Amino acid sequence: MSCDCRQPIEPTLPPRGTLFLRTEIDHLRVKIERALPEATVERSWLRVSGDTDALRAYVARLAVAITSVESERLHALVVADDEPLTVDRAFESMPFAVLQRRIEFDWLGTAIASRAFTTHFQPIFESSDPTRIFAREALLRLANSTAPIGHLFSVAQEIGLAPALDRVARESAIDTFAAAGFSGKLFLNFIPSSIYDPVTCLATTFAALERNGIPFNRVVMEVVESERVDDVQHLLRVLDFYRERGLAIALDDLGSGFSSLNMLGLLRPDYVKLDIALIAGIHLDPFKATLAQRLIELAKELKLAVIAEGIERPEELAWVTAQGVDYVQGFYLARPAAA
């Protein structure tokens, strides 16, 4: 399966093909030969061939014969019968553990390819009037389901589908937002590591905005999982790409740890969202209250708009409003819902 943002997603297992396995660990090779006695040798690889069901069975048999650590150290590659094992193709091998996950979640690739998703929206309200909607945050859902699918983004990251899933999420959100005729701003979540090249990965996003007649300045890109960013310079290039086109930037989970404060100085967003865990029960916790007050003061000094998210009680709403946050969001005010 390709992780290219715009390439079609192929099934992990072809109709007929060969599973190639390679290791330099002697005892692991012995385990493979015992689990798959039909395996033959081709150059430095052990190989077994068959149709889709047979390949799936080979993977299942081997999975119970080796440890999780060994599955990370075993190189695996599946090649269709009509495709030769070239040197370039061999370089596409992956840990056996990743191959297992790809097979387990093959349905995710199918769902992405068929766009079997819908978008729900959670309103963000003005704190001065919690009945007035300022913006809506887009949240991806599987079609015919209301359950959050945040864990699928982690899985997609593991198996190389994160760019494709991230792209489908943005396009679904834009199309649904426009079809509903919503006013106000649109908050779009994005995972920085999913955008390896802004020009390539974001082309369809900007095309969707233009196709639907949504001005770029109505869109806010919300950085999630910023604490996991390994390449800050890459993230800054992505954000510059957004800003040059008139989009605003929001930083999620401010107050969740030192990393979020560090990111605040590096990313210099237009909006900051106070962490849900910080807001929960804040009216009863002097420590949380003091921390939140300082963060709100800091944001105001930096001329950043503050959003308090995760509000689930009237007391929490009253507290953050009294502290002068600009916008509020949470189940107490409105749950995510279909357009």
Q: Are residues 61 and 195 in the same domain?
A: no
Query: What number is the average pLDDT over the span 161-179?
Result: 94
- Position 5 in a domain: no
Q: Distances from the Cα of 230 to the Cαs of 188, 242, 259, 301, in angstroms?
A: 21, 20, 12, 28
- Residues 270, 248: contact at Cβ < 8 Å? yes
CATH number of the domain at 41, please.
3.30.70
The reported pLDDT for the residue numbered 41 is 94
| Tally: H helices and E strands in the chain | 15, 14
The reported pLDDT for the residue numbered 8 is 57
- Position 3 in a domain: no
Q: Are residues 202 and 82 in the same domain?
A: no
The reported pLDDT for the residue numbered 152 is 83
Q: Distances from the Cα of 107 to the Cαs of 29, 142, 149, 152, in angstroms?
A: 31, 12, 14, 11
- Residues 30, 74: contact at Cβ < 8 Å? no
Given a cut of 60, whether residue 226 has pLDDT beyond it is no
Look at residues 273, 197, 276, 266 and name the one whose alpha carbon lies nearest to residue 229.
266
Query: What number is the average pLDDT over the span 82-106?
Result: 91
Please state the separation of Cα 156 from the chain's center in Å: 7
- Position 80 in a domain: yes
Q: Which among 79, 104, 129 is the end of a domain? A: 104
Look at residues 270, 263, 115 and name the one whose alpha carbon lies nearest to residue 185.
270
How would residue 199 be classed by pLDDT, with cut points 50, 70 and 90? confident
d(CA 112, CA 117): 8
Range of the domain at 284: 116-338
Q: Which helix (H) or strand (E) holds 41?
A: strand 40-42
Q: Distances from the Cα of 182 to the Cαs of 68, 133, 173, 339, in angstroms?
A: 48, 10, 12, 9
The reported pLDDT for the residue numbered 123 is 98
Q: Are residues 68 and 180 in the same domain?
A: no
Look at residues 233, 227, 218, 234 and name the one whose alpha carbon lies nearest to residue 251.
227
pLDDT tens figures, 131-142: 999 999 999 998
The reported pLDDT for the residue numbered 259 is 55
- Position 222 in a domain: yes
The reported pLDDT for the residue numbered 122 is 98
Q: Are residues 219 and 289 in the same domain?
A: yes
Spell out a b/e string for 251-261, using b for 16 or more CB atoms within 10 Å of the CB, else e. Answer: bbbbbbeeebe
Look at residues 248, 255, 253 and name the one whose alpha carbon lies nearest to residue 224.
253
How would residue 225 be classed by pLDDT, with cut points 50, 70 and 90? low
Residues composing the chain? 339
Q: Which among 53, 74, 104 is the end of a domain? A: 104
Provide the mean pLDDT of the chain. Answer: 90
Given a cut of 50, whether residue 1 has pLDDT beyond it is no
Q: Are residues 137 and 244 in the same domain?
A: yes
Q: Are residues 121 and 197 in the same domain?
A: yes
Given a cut of 80, whether residue 2 has pLDDT beyond it is no
Tell me, what amino acid is at 106? D
d(CA 318, CA 108): 42
Tokens of 302: 């930096």
Q: How many CA atoms lie within 13 A of 230 on its CB side?
A: 4
Q: Which among 104, 134, 157 is the end of a domain? A: 104
The reported pLDDT for the residue numbered 228 is 65
Q: Are residues 161 and 25 in the same domain?
A: no
CATH number of the domain at 257, please.
3.20.20.450
The reported pLDDT for the residue numbered 192 is 80
For the chain, percent of residues with pLDDT exceeding 90: 70
Q: Are residues 97 and 72 in the same domain?
A: yes
pTM over 0.75? The answer is yes
d(CA 246, CA 265): 21
Q: Are residues 80 and 203 in the same domain?
A: no
- Position 111 in a domain: no
Spell out a b/e string for 275-291, using b for 16 or more CB atoms within 10 Å of the CB, else e. Answer: bbebbbebbeeeebbeb
Tokens of 264: 């605040």
- Position 234 in a domain: yes
- Phi, psi dihedrals of residue 79, rounded to the nearest 5°: -125, 130
How would residue 4 be classed by pLDDT, with cut points 50, 70 and 90? very low
- Position 66 in a domain: yes
Q: Which helix (H) or strand (E) holds 156?
A: helix 150-158
Tokens of 272: 């900051």
Q: Are residues 137 and 248 in the same domain?
A: yes
Q: Are residues 187 and 330 in the same domain?
A: yes
d(CA 241, CA 202): 9
Q: Distances from the Cα of 33 to the Cαs of 26, 40, 57, 85, 247, in angstroms?
A: 11, 9, 15, 21, 56
Query: What number is the average pLDDT over the span 241-264?
Result: 82
Q: Per the structure, how many domains does the chain have?
A: 2
Tell me, what amino acid is at 138? A
Q: Are residues 95 and 130 in the same domain?
A: no
The reported pLDDT for the residue numbered 51 is 97
d(CA 35, CA 79): 20
- Position 2 in a domain: no
